[in-house]
Structure 1
Amino acid sequence: MAIEKVDTLVVGGGQAGIAMSEHLGKNGIEHLVLEKNRIAEAWRSGRWDSLVANGPAWHDRFPNLEFSDCGPDEFPGKERVADYLVEYAGKVNAPIRTGVEVTNAARTADGSAFLVDTSEGQIEAKHIVAATGAFQTPVIPPIVPAEAALEQVHSFHYRNPEQLPEGAVMVVGAGSSGAQIADELNRAGRKVFLSVGPHDRPPRAYRERDFVWWLGVLGLWDAPAMKPGTEHVTISVSGAYGGQTMDFRRLAGEGVTLVGLTDSYENGKLTFKDDLQANVAGGDANYKEMLDLADAYVARTGIDLPEEPEARKAFPDPDCLTNPIRELDLAKEGITSIIWATGFRQDFSWLKVDAFNDRGAPIHQRGVSKEPGIYFLGLPWQSRRGSTFIWGVWHDAKHVADQIAIKHAYMAYKAPSQR
């Protein structure tokens, strides 16, 4: 079988791959996008049924297409987001082949290109863009053994309360996924325990503006890196139920039992670190910091936005926060399942090039790899805080595509003797 040749091969047909295709097309660069499943598959099958976008429709989109059947301040559901991405791929005529998996990529013998093995044959490409996103391989920490009499599922594979066996549920991780799942399970009448680690907890909205608007006017979306010491701090925010601030005191008041960071398991008992109060206090501080920054911005600019003093009123401390639980006997509490909302790791094992550090993380500058011809897109904090959002990856894709176009321009140069 003849080897297919292409200038730029984009691996991944989600929001990153689609954005990349648009900008490569605008630059006139021949390219092909490969997606091992369907376009935007993770939005359809890698998330729970009731999931909605974490940002309102006016903000969490590509610049050149609005959500036609969703109000600007609504939070579109996951299927609608997937349909939107399919629609956008058609709008920009993205050359996407679905159902094609990339299994290996390495330099050709002469070093001039890359030979890529796929489930449908080999492709030779001068450039490769790894656009497989930030959420590739679900991670479950090795705390509770698989042989324990419990249903254990990662949040990536959770669908709805009916999926789980009867009984109480332990949710580990209080970022956006864990907090929303715990809320849903509690509303469904389940007894829920939520393990809360370090987190940021912004207001969903303040002074008639969503927090994504505040991050924009305050310049915080463009933060180039996380603050030192916050690498393991997640963000807890939700667009569910019309959008509301994720307040752990409120959840506890509604029946969710809060515990600290999950530490160990032995003889049917889970133990937790003595950090619940500190973690909740850290989230509170982040919340109040956002309110203070917003108030200062209003005072500085004179913008006409109404005061909202009730936003600073706190729910009462629940008993589980005042007297933190350090150990749970799972059987005694009737806990039959654990949902691990514990994040993901990236997997670039298919890419056999010198582009990674000793932890397997890409070495790059705004997506441009240390390995010539290799590029990355959709990485957390690739260029700024907003890099993993739909609108943020669009801007990162433009930069990466422009770098490939610049390389083309250099390669097209001819010395006077060649003209």
Structure 2
Amino acid sequence: MSNANIIAPDTTNAAAHHTVIVVGGGQAGLSISYYLKEAGIDHLVLEKHTVTHTWRSQRWDAFCLVTPNWQCALPGYPYRGDDPHGFMKKDEIIAYLDGFIAMVDAPVLEHTEVRKIKRLASGGYFVSTSNGDFTADQVVVASGGYHTPIVPRMAERLPNDIVQLQSSHYRNPQTLPEGAVLVVGSGQSGAQIAEDLHLAGRKVYLAVGEAPRCARFYRGRDVVDWLADMRYYDMPVDQHPLREGVRDNTNHYVTGRDGGRDIDLRRFALEGMELYGRLDDLRDGCLQFAPNLIDALDSADDTYNRINMSIDGFIDKHGIEAPVGVPYEPVWQPEGERTSLDLAESGITSIVWCIGFRPDFSWIDAPVFNGRGYPAHVRGITPQAGLYFIGLPWLHTWGSGRFSGIARDAGHVVDTIRSAIDATSTSLAA
């Protein structure tokens, strides 16, 4: 149970007004509240479920951070534990968030779904919710970008006796029926869920996607530590070689499980996991896969080695003493591309879909979205006066959607809000 400053809904007919309304009570929305309170700005946080709901309800039992604990740096609440280079498990993450919730003491209206936001002709915004209507001078959307789970339409044609789960609903191997499991997708969630099942002794078929991978440790240190020293995590999106295209990248797969290690799909294959290419279709009782497994594995390994080579260059440039590093060499190669799998003969009784989410900002009536439904913005500031976004991947830097970078982003957005308030006050005074 959270310690947020829970507010009862207004049951009057009049729309309650706040200077700022924040939509979303995750770490992003609470970070905005932290800085708004610091600035003495009236605001209300609206949360569809309960604060930090996603961390509590949409993570599997063995979930842990893939970034070291020292990167947990929510505003005013850095990690203070005794294992800065470890990786918090699910219950430890929740305890960390509970501490942050209590410290911020945000004004939150929980169980409140925002159904429509639109600009008022007189200025400001109208916010319609399941708990009544509100108006605000400015609105911060902190609901993230992972709203609608992606499940292909072919799922509708699978036999009814096959259990299908989206990654956010997977909990542990014991909750799945006996038999083999097909995991579709090899991003962070897919690779880690496949590992969770594999370690439990389950027969796993993995449809490998195009996700890259990276080393956990290299030349005596966590790769994250090296990249932090190289200032990678401070690189703004407009200085990244891919520019805004980096926002479309799939996260590298690696794990913090059991103290942290690489995830090597080739090694899993040596141990009995069945690897296939991208899942494309179901025809005549057979799953159809693209012939791209070899390229996907090679590409992931190329990224792995390329990151390590950049660390080599940094070490050489600065004359740092470190153990010798060696390139990764594949421990297993596919004999060829297998493009079909008989579903009945495979023994597959359950499928876990791990192919991501789509954003859904259809409830925001504002001319700020591109053709793919993403908001146009610069560091969360949209072209629509008084409308902001926070918590999106690469909003400004790599850490924008993570515990490590949200404080910088939230501080910048609130500075902009404060400037807008000051400008309005000056105009009224004149």
TM-score range, shorter chain: over 0.9
Alignment partner of 1:73 is 2:123: no
Q: Secondary structure at the match of 1:88?
A: helix
**% same residue:** 38
> For residue 139 of structure 1, what is the amino acid of its counterpart?
I
Pairwise CA distance, 1:315? 4.8
1: distance between equivalents of 2:19 and 2:172?
A: 43
* Equivalent in the alignment of 1:155: 167
Pairwise CA distance, 1:71? 1.3
Asked if 2 retains the 8 angstrom alpha-carbon contact of 1:70 and 1:76, the reply is no
2: distance between equivalents of 1:180 and 1:4?
A: 45
Pairwise CA distance, 1:368? 0.9
2: distance between equivalents of 1:49 and 1:83?
A: 15
Q: Secondary structure at the match of 1:382?
A: coil
| Runs of at least 4 residues off by over 4 Å | none
Q: Secondary structure at the match of 2:71?
A: coil
TM-score, structure 1 as length reference? 0.93
Pairwise CA distance, 1:146? 4.8
TM-score, structure 2 as length reference? 0.90
* Equivalent in the alignment of 1:314: 329
1:272-306 alpha-carbon deviations (Å, 9 max, x no partner): 11111111111111111111111111111122333
* Equivalent in the alignment of 1:197: 209
2: distance between equivalents of 1:21 and 1:356?
A: 25
Q: Secondary structure at the match of 1:408?
A: helix
Q: Secondary structure at the match of 2:112?
A: coil
- Which range moves more in the overlay, 64-73 or 394-403? 64-73
* Equivalent in the alignment of 1:145: 156
Alignment of 1:398-413 (within 5 A): 398-413=411-426
Asked if 2 retains the 8 angstrom alpha-carbon contact of 1:269 and 1:327, the reply is yes
Q: Secondary structure at the match of 2:190?
A: helix
2: distance between equivalents of 1:167 and 1:226?
A: 45
- Residue number among 76, 93, 102 corresponding to 2:105 in the alignment: 93
Pairwise CA distance, 1:93? 2.9
> For residue 119 of structure 1, what is the amino acid of its counterpart?
S
* Equivalent in the alignment of 1:336: 349
* Equivalent in the alignment of 2:336: 323
* Equivalent in the alignment of 2:117: 105
Alignment partner of 1:269 is 2:286: yes
Alignment partner of 1:236 is 2:249: no
Asked if 1 retains the 8 angstrom alpha-carbon contact of 2:73 and 2:405, the reply is no
- Residue number among 354, 359, 362 corresponding to 1:349 in the alignment: 362
Gaps of 5+ in 1: none
Asked if 2 retains the 8 angstrom alpha-carbon contact of 1:205 and 1:244, the reply is yes
Asked if 2 retains the 8 angstrom alpha-carbon contact of 1:63 and 1:391, the reply is no
Q: Secondary structure at the match of 1:199?
A: coil
The RMSD of aligned alpha carbons is 2.0
Pairwise CA distance, 1:369? 1.4
* Equivalent in the alignment of 2:5: none
Asked if 2 retains the 8 angstrom alpha-carbon contact of 1:60 and 1:391, the reply is yes
1: distance between equivalents of 2:283 and 2:82?
A: 48
Pairwise CA distance, 1:407? 0.9
Alignment of 1:109-188 (within 5 A): 110-146=121-157, 148-149=159-160, 150-188=162-200
Alignment partner of 1:62 is 2:79: no
Asked if 2 retains the 8 angstrom alpha-carbon contact of 1:175 and 1:237, the reply is no
Asked if 2 retains the 8 angstrom alpha-carbon contact of 1:43 and 1:79, the reply is no
Pairwise CA distance, 1:399? 1.2
- Which range moves more in the overlay, 144-153 or 205-214? 144-153
Alignment partner of 1:257 is 2:257: no
- Residue number among 403, 409, 417 corresponding to 1:396 in the alignment: 409
2: distance between equivalents of 1:414 and 1:155?
A: 51
> For residue 283 of structure 1, what is the amino acid of its counterpart?
A
Alignment partner of 1:377 is 2:390: yes
> For residue 288 of structure 2, what is the amino acid of its counterpart?
T
Asked if 2 retains the 8 angstrom alpha-carbon contact of 1:105 and 1:114, the reply is yes
Q: Secondary structure at the match of 1:43?
A: helix
- Which range moves more in the overlay, 243-252 or 350-359? 350-359
* Equivalent in the alignment of 2:52: 40
Pairwise CA distance, 1:62? 2.0
* Equivalent in the alignment of 1:227: 242
> For residue 121 of structure 1, what is the amino acid of its counterpart?
G
> For residue 287 of structure 2, what is the amino acid of its counterpart?
L
Pairwise CA distance, 1:187? 1.3
Asked if 2 retains the 8 angstrom alpha-carbon contact of 1:198 and 1:232, the reply is no
Asked if 2 retains the 8 angstrom alpha-carbon contact of 1:330 and 1:336, the reply is no
Alpha carbons of structure 1 residues 186 and 143: separation in structure 2 relative to 1, 3 Å: same
2: distance between equivalents of 1:171 and 1:276?
A: 14
2: distance between equivalents of 1:178 and 1:248?
A: 11
